[in-house]
Chains A and B, each alone.
Chain A
Amino acid sequence: MPEIVVIGAGPAGLSAAAAVRSHGQRVVLLDENPAAGGQIWRGERTAVAQGVETMFGTRALGIASAGMLLCETSESAVVLPFRKLVVATGARERFLPFPGWTLPGVFGAGGLQAMVKSGFPVDGKRVVVAGTGPLLLEVAEYLRSRGARIAIVAEQARWTSLIRFGLALRHAPSKMAQAARLAFSTLPRAGCWVTEVHGTEHVEAATLTDGRRTWREACDYVACGFHLVPNTEIAAVLGCHLEGGVVWTDDLHETSISGIYCAGEPCGIGGVDKSLIEGEIAGHAAAGRLPVARLFAKRARARRFAAALDAVTRLRPELARLAREDTIVCRCEDVPLSRIRECSDWRSAKLLTRCGMGPCQGRVCGSALESLFGWRPESVRPPVQPARAGTLAGLTGSA
């Protein structure tokens, strides 16, 4: 019998696969990364539940034919039969264009952390960490543990919203303790953001402001994280209904497409606890079993944290005005803001400027344009990522 296939081996996917296995059913867990853990546990030894079959270095592209998932490894195309699917594709960082953001040495905050976890040297380097959300503190602490010197942690939110966020954590004592510990070791500078990065071949300095005063920090790297964007592309290409930019599911995490489940960040950004719980619920449901009631209570708590996180990471309007006319917005095709301004929507920007048509397929500039102009991409079409022509020969249509 074809098995239950889980796409994504981060917290939600690992938890879903473990729940399926707990009922003795076959489950295949696939991930494009070389190991389990997702972004949050990258580089750590992450346990996969016993009996779960894994396929790492494998990315899902779309449906080959009914009940067959088309995937690709670095060597070949793979067609995977499935009975049910759990989509646990996680999130990526939101990027905003500002002058100098295309220089080598500007990274996403989680991006630099991921790079360092896979051998990127930061020892003795001076780093500006900027953007929004608790991830900044975690990244700063990690980078410091690897020998980096943190010039500043610039948090765009005001102190008042940070305090409100802290108070909202009272329902999650472990999170509150973690936040307090991180803030103690790396005090963020609230209400402050990077306006420009300077350098010719690589980053040399960053200009920061608190809205009144503007100053320059010499640095080797800039790690900027403007919170997260859910990876909904695979769910969308499978035909799942999206609502407000996230995948719609019922209480048991089944999407609008029968037999396809979704858990974790694609259903709404909320962090690791929410992902673990949602993955577990989705795994039980995909296995045809009813999850125990306490999971739903835990999920409700995790969602309250998500709502608090959402409020604190709301971006101040100044951040959408940092890009100048000549600032590149689409990094793949080098399209500057001035050319995109001439367009009325995503579609015309794609047709007239090639914005979003390069290898990243709008994954970077898409969220930027949503922040700048309120544009949302109209549709996602297979394959969800650039693929080899030989692989595409196996792609016949939708779910």
Chain B
Amino acid sequence: MTDRVALHIDGKTVKVSCRASVASAIWIAGGFRRSVSGQPRGPLCGMGTCFECRATVDGGKHVRTCVLTCREGMDVRTDA
């Protein structure tokens, strides 16, 4: 039993607590998607309202990563 999980964010492997949200892991890995006009963005609401933290997770598009808990081996793409 370990309390850390490894996930892949834009091809980079990140280890975080198994209780961490995917949004926290993305922040630790280095950053989120850019806005429609190419500006840097990050999570705002932290509770699933603003969709700023959305990413592609295991092929599923527009997933709100702030309300998703990390699981071992998740594949996250921030360019969604």
**Interface residue ranges, A against B (CB under 8 Å):** 32-34, 39, 42-43, 74, 92-93, 95, 102-108, 110-115, 118-121, 201-202, 328, 331-334, 358-360, 363-364, 386
- B71 to chain A minimum Cβ distance, whole angstroms, is 11
Task: Mark B53-80 against chain A: 1 for CB-CB distance below 8 A, else 0.
Answer: 0100000101100111110000000000
Does A364 contact B37, Cβ atoms closer than 8 Å?
A: no
Chain B contact-residue range equals: 35 or more
Q: Given A118-B20, A120-B27, A334-B37, are A386 and B62 neighbors across the interface (CB < 8 Å)? A: yes
> How far apart sit A334 and B49, CA to CA, in the bound complex (Å)?
17
> How far apart sit A112 and B20, CA to CA, in the bound complex (Å)?
14
Which of B20, B31, B44 makes the CB contact (< 8 A) with A108? B44
Residue of B nearest to A43 (CB): B19
Question: Given known contacts A202-B42, A328-B35, A386-B51, what 8 new A-B pairs fall within 8 Å (CB)?
Answer: A102-B39, A110-B47, A115-B23, A118-B24, A201-B40, A334-B37, A359-B62, A364-B50
Q: Given A102-B35, A108-B45, A118-B69, are A360 and B50 neighbors across the interface (CB < 8 Å)? A: yes
Q: Given A33-B67, A359-B54, are A121 and B46 neighbors across the interface (CB < 8 Å)? A: no
Does B44 contact A364, Cβ atoms closer than 8 Å?
A: yes
> How far apart sit A27 and B8, CA to CA, in the bound complex (Å)?
39
> How far apart sit A111 and B41, CA to CA, in the bound complex (Å)?
15
Does B20 contact A119, Cβ atoms closer than 8 Å?
A: yes
> How far apart sit A39 and B49, CA to CA, in the bound complex (Å)?
12
Q: Provide a sorted-by-A list of 22 A–B residue pairs whose CB atoms are within 8 angstroms.
A: A39-B47, A74-B63, A92-B47, A103-B40, A105-B42, A106-B44, A107-B43, A107-B46, A108-B45, A111-B46, A115-B43, A115-B66, A118-B66, A118-B69, A119-B16, A119-B20, A120-B23, A201-B40, A328-B39, A333-B36, A334-B36, A359-B62
**Complex contacts, B40 vs chain A, CB 8 Å:** 103-104, 201-202
> How far apart sit A363 and B48, CA to CA, in the bound complex (Å)?
10
Mostly, the A contact residues are loop
> How far apart sit A334 and B52, CA to CA, in the bound complex (Å)?
12
Which of A110, A360, A364 makes the CB contact (< 8 A) with B46? A110
**Interface residue ranges, B against A (CB under 8 Å):** 16-17, 19-21, 23-25, 27-28, 31-32, 35-37, 39-52, 54, 60, 62-63, 66-70
- A144 to chain B minimum Cβ distance, whole angstroms, is 18
**Complex contacts, A32 vs chain B, CB 8 Å:** 48, 67
**Complex contacts, B47 vs chain A, CB 8 Å:** 39, 42, 92, 108, 110-111, 114
- A102 to chain B minimum Cβ distance, whole angstroms, is 6
**Complex contacts, A111 vs chain B, CB 8 Å:** 43-47
Does A112 contact B46, Cβ atoms closer than 8 Å?
A: yes
Does A74 contact B21, Cβ atoms closer than 8 Å?
A: no
Residue of B nearest to A105 (CB): B42
**Complex contacts, B52 vs chain A, CB 8 Å:** 331
Residue of B nearest to A200 (CB): B40
Residue of A nearest to B51 (CB): A359
Residue of B nearest to A359 (CB): B51
Residue of A nearest to B24 (CB): A119
